[in-house]
Structure 1
């Protein structure tokens, strides 16, 4: 089942990515009732289509703000696979995390995009704190919530991390066995950057090229 779910998740992610090229221009969040910033965002919940449900839940004494996306013709009496979507460093749920959450919901998943603690619509002071340990707990908290969401199959939960959220997702999935699959987009290892600086990855890639004679495609041009 794990292999099948992983294959389905990756297929859905690939299909969703095909639609993103045309959505480079951000929409005006002030014109969207859910303050979503991406083109093609949901503007109203329509029966029979992908819907969005703003939710809040408690995590370690803080209120977490999130959006749950449900597939078209969602029936809570059935069981659907779910995906937790972790946003980039400095991002919020209404941006790229919401875009992927919506596109994956169009592929039949229940998805949740959330604001990290201390960021966006979530609680916590001081604002804009972005600690790896906190971000990993945020992901686990989202899994707690979505696994209990009516209509979700708790045995089929996946995890998608974007940019900095990708590094946090990999770390969360190492120990949280509820995640049957994990995928990342433009992964950025925030912990490594804090320890070794922003050029650490480029240096590792160049070292590998020197040792093996094989140049990693992602090393072309290095960091910008």
Structure 2
């Protein structure tokens, strides 16, 4: 079969000593935090009068989901609080940027939840790293199921925030699930479009070949064979430096170096492409009638996906596209000056619409 190469799938046959040492070094951040959180300013212990974190588990379609619930300072279960579900990026987990934004929103008075997607992170499901849109969308609905039953949550004031791939799945979830009263995305990544067309439409000529590869992978699984994976298992500093796009170069640095976590991976089952490549986050945007906020970095090379989806939300109320000046896609995940801008905008948006 013809070998296909792309920005998205960098072939690395084995982890070098350089990779192993780098991962070991940065995994220490997770090991040093009792909740394995790897973002700056993360909670290290629960204290009275401050934002607290509560690791929880619940079942979703028979799969055990691992999540963190954040409660505001001086939380009182007898009171009513607005809540926000936060969906993590592709390859991400609840201990990274999803947790950062969940904590910052809790600091602003919201009860928040960040959960690992089924088949990923600390959640259950086999085969591992399955990444199908219907599952990721169901994960977001599952967060709504759980958090609306949490003590103190006003189910009539539920918002949702999706980051990167979680943003695309959030748009899809909100199209049908009207429990979400206010919908926000940050650095939205349309997983279906990119898996189908390639990043920035770089693989339009190989769609059928890649669908054949995914079909063959599915057939191999069905026959009891080895599960095939696409994506990046390990990457060297040299390979990172040679990556031409900001999204992937900075993404590799974020996930494999500065914010590395043992549960986070860029891998996904090759057979997942059968679902991903025939799906699109921007389809049926007219079904979103809730207030909609879409945020993207002004220098983000993924901004085109937000630009494509936003105009299609013709029925969304109080619709706004907010640009974070100077930010790239990955910088919105962690860089303080950009996180502050995004959080301030989110707080204003949810305050008005929840």
Smaller-chain TM-score bracket: 0.7 to 0.9
The structural deviation recorded for 1:26 is 9.7
Partner of 1:97: 98
CA distance, structure 2, for counterparts of residue 200 and residue 169 of structure 1? 22
Residue by residue over 1:58-108, the C-alpha shift from the partner in whole angstroms, topping out at 9 and shown as x without a partner, is 001100000000000000000100000000000000000000000000000
C-alpha spacing 1:89/1:61, structure 2 compared with 1 (3 Å): same
CA distance, structure 2, for counterparts of residue 26 and residue 187 of structure 1? 27
Residue by residue over 1:167-194, the C-alpha shift from the partner in whole angstroms, topping out at 9 and shown as x without a partner, is 0000100100000011111100001222
Partner of 1:7: none
CA distance, structure 1, for counterparts of residue 192 and residue 180 of structure 2? 21
**Pairwise mapping of residues 70-219 of structure 1 onto structure 2 (< 5 A)?**
70-200=71-201
Q: Is residue 164–residue 189 contact of structure 1 (8 Å, CA) maintained in 2?
A: yes
CA distance, structure 2, for counterparts of residue 62 and residue 103 of structure 1? 28
CA distance, structure 1, for counterparts of residue 78 and residue 120 of structure 2? 34
- Aligned to 2:35, what secondary structure does the other structure show? coil
Partner of 1:4: none
Partner of 2:351: none
Work out the number of aligned pairs and report it.
187
- Aligned to 1:112, what secondary structure does the other structure show? strand
Residue by residue over 1:129-178, the C-alpha shift from the partner in whole angstroms, topping out at 9 and shown as x without a partner, is 11111000000001000000010000000000000000000010010000
Structure showing the higher strand proportion among its residues: 1
CA distance, structure 1, for counterparts of residue 182 and residue 27 of structure 2? 29
- Aligned to 1:98, what secondary structure does the other structure show? helix
Q: Is residue 27–residue 37 contact of structure 1 (8 Å, CA) maintained in 2?
A: no
Structure 1: segments with no counterpart, 5+ residues: 1-24, 209-216
Residue by residue over 1:112-135, the C-alpha shift from the partner in whole angstroms, topping out at 9 and shown as x without a partner, is 000000001000011111111100
CA distance, structure 2, for counterparts of residue 27 and residue 106 of structure 1? 26
Bigger Rg over Cα: 2
TM norm structure 1: 0.78
Residue by residue over 1:12-67, the C-alpha shift from the partner in whole angstroms, topping out at 9 and shown as x without a partner, is xxxxxxxxxxxxx9981111000000111000000110000000000011000000
TM norm structure 2: 0.50
CA distance, structure 2, for counterparts of residue 60 and residue 131 of structure 1? 15
The structural deviation recorded for 1:198 is 1.8
C-alpha spacing 1:83/1:27, structure 2 compared with 1 (3 Å): farther
- Aligned to 1:45, what secondary structure does the other structure show? coil
Pairwise CA RMSD of aligned residues?
A: 2.7
